[in-house]
A and B are shown apart, each in its own frame.
Chain A
Amino acid sequence: MEQRLGNTWRMTVNEKKFIESALESELRVDGRRPFDYRTLTIKFAREDGSSEVQLGQTHVMSFVTSQLVQPYRDRPNEGTLSVFTEFSPMADPSFEAGRPSESAVELGRIIDRGLRESRAVDTESLCVVSGKWVWSIRLDLHILDNGGNLVDAANIAALAALLTFRRPECTLGGDDGQEVILHPPEVREPLPLIIHHLPIAVTFAFIGEELMVIDPTHHEEAVMGGRMSVTLNANGDVCAIQKAGGHGVMQGVVMQCLRIASVKAGDITSKIKTVVESYKTERALRMVKRHAPSNAVDVNEPDQKAKQILEGQKLKSEECSVSQSDDMDVEQDRINKRSKKNRSFTGGPSSWDPYSEGVNTDELEATLASRGSVAVPMNLDNLGDNIRDETKSDEPLSDVNPVSSSTDTAGKEMSISREKTLQDAVKPKNKREKKKSSKIAAV
């Protein structure tokens, strides 16, 4: 028992009295005024979907992972989003390892409610095969240092991680068209989540009779009589309110809190957006670097024909993306057209077959070898599907286009089209193998 006495953090009567008396003259112990936030720093790790947020002394790490699972029976067309919290005993001596404490559960619930019940993350876009395969997004929050106001810090960390997360692209294939093929990030650019709005949590602490502060520190949390967390987005829509026990709060005070919180939510939203934007630019630049060696291999092969095909392909993909917003009849029309185009497109690569004299097979193999152990998803049986994949594959690439073209102009177009040459070079191999297998069958 004595051991425990020695290990817990405790507060003196002097501190408690001082925090209250200083607040009466609108002063806080760290030099802020009652409605100031502490300095907010958001950092990202190298891989997608992980963030680190520092709010004053509070330090929260968050990362997002995804998995293909079976959907819930009552929602066959929706992916899932779940929040997990981890309170490390290093963060605060009062946190115990093992079973999640009451505050850990509360924190997880507030963030979960803000994100899920306001439908901030589009779960329907996470569906792959209705009733069979959907993406399950898992959000882990690790509290690294507790300096007070974990809710806001964890919420910002969660949003930053979700905004930068990308799930691997997957397509349907196989005999019955129901088989899910996952494309590794080297082959196809992973897709970001669709996030409609950013619900920001803003926490108020009520100290003494009618004193109120925003973003309470660890010390203020020890003194406060009650706390209220308001989650709202930059438009001022209230997504959730958490007011657990303690001090009673007047209706007028709640309204005042909401007004202050909407201003703060706007500030924090713009901060998150600028940070995420700079991360994305950096990421895009990194991508360009990564592809440099593979471009060098392809330079040896000036294939005018292939480039023409690719340009045509790009146009087609643009048309396809436009058609998505059209009416149903038009859509039908387009589909017909598209299938026609697909047919004409099927002609493309076949004229560019490695067995025709156009391309040197050895060189092709060399390009394949240069990719190393990258596992290329192969679908040997269904050619038609493959081609459909190919048209889709242009979308992420044209996605990258605006970012890179904004940074640099000359040569970018070229490099991208060359990138595609490499991808296409992989495809005929499937075909080749298919041919082989059919031959074997014939024999």
Chain B
Amino acid sequence: MDPKPSMTFIDKPVIPGDVILDVSAMMDQTIKLGGGLQQDHDTITVIKAGILRFSEPNKYWIESSHKRFIPTVGDTVLGIVVDKRADSFFVDIKGPMVAFLPVLAFEGGTRRNIPKYEVGALIYARIVNANTGMNPELSCMDASGKAAEFGLLKDGYMFESSTGLSRMLLSSPTCPVLEGLGKKLAFEIAVGLNGRVWVNAEHPSSIILVANAIMNSESLTPVQQKIMVERLLDRVN
């Protein structure tokens, strides 16, 4: 059997039920599965329509664009605090269930210094635990226990888009919209993989401009995005 049968599927659209990999032929190696894939005994099956992606040496996942979000371990998300309990915050991450953010999951977090987040606060966090049938768990620390940009986002403006747009904004090299806007304007941006984007700048007008440019770029090709941003900036200046 071909050592890498899945190669035929990589970067191609797949639909639920497609078998992309036979694990029995590759007993000696480890593979890592991302969102949209599932192991069925000796085979790896697709459970979500989208494009199959592969990253050296062994990561496989499915990419698609949704308005809802299926939590996957390691995703960084923007969440809204919904409720507060003694041991954790309930955070809405656009998923099928609210996520838990334990009050101790902060850098140097102890029972003494629990953060005071009000209901409706916007939080940048990382998913550390996501199993079916269980509420996902968030953390405001990176893998090494540092705060690393995670935590409360003050001011600015948050808007919702699709997961595909978020991925485009996070891709490298930097997507043309952000590159074009960044050359002329100074702004801060936080992108959650759950399709939420937060923008902050000094003037409200630049926030509105950046937010609308990003929202409009969803269905545009890179070249169109560049032209759109140039036109926008010409009109403003």
> Chain A residues in contact with chain B, CB under 8 A?
2-3, 5-6, 10-18, 21-22, 25, 27-31
Contact = CB atoms under 8 A, between A and B. Distances in A.
Contacts of B121: 12-13
Contact of A3 (B83, B97, B118, B204): B97
Given A13-B120, A17-B155, A5 B90 contact: yes
A29 B157 contact: yes
Contacts, number: 67
A3 B97 CA distance: 6
B212 A31 contact: yes
Interface string B196-230: 00100000110111011000000000000000000
Contact of A6 (B92, B204, B211, B212): B92
Given A22-B204, A31-B208, A6 B98 contact: yes
Contacts of A18: 155-157, 204, 207
B80 interface: yes
Given A2-B97, A6-B97, A22-B208, A13 B122 contact: yes
A102 B71 CA distance: 35
A2 B97 CA distance: 7
B204 A10 contact: no
Contacts of B159: 15, 29
A14 B153 contact: yes
Contact of B158 (A3, A12, A22): A12
Contacts of A10: 80, 82, 92, 120
B208 A27 contact: yes
26 contacts: A2-B135, A5-B92, A6-B98, A11-B80, A12-B120, A12-B121, A12-B158, A13-B118, A13-B120, A13-B121, A13-B122, A14-B122, A14-B158, A15-B157, A16-B120, A18-B156, A18-B204, A18-B207, A22-B207, A27-B204, A27-B205, A27-B208, A29-B211, A30-B212, A31-B208, A31-B209
Contact of A14 (B90, B135, B155, B205): B155
A15 B197 CA distance: 12
B96 interface: yes
Contacts of B90: 2, 5
B211 to A, nearest CB: 7
Contacts of A17: 155
A29 B155 CA distance: 14
A5 B80 CA distance: 11
Contacts of B112: none
A6 B156 CA distance: 24
Contacts of A2: 90, 97-98, 135
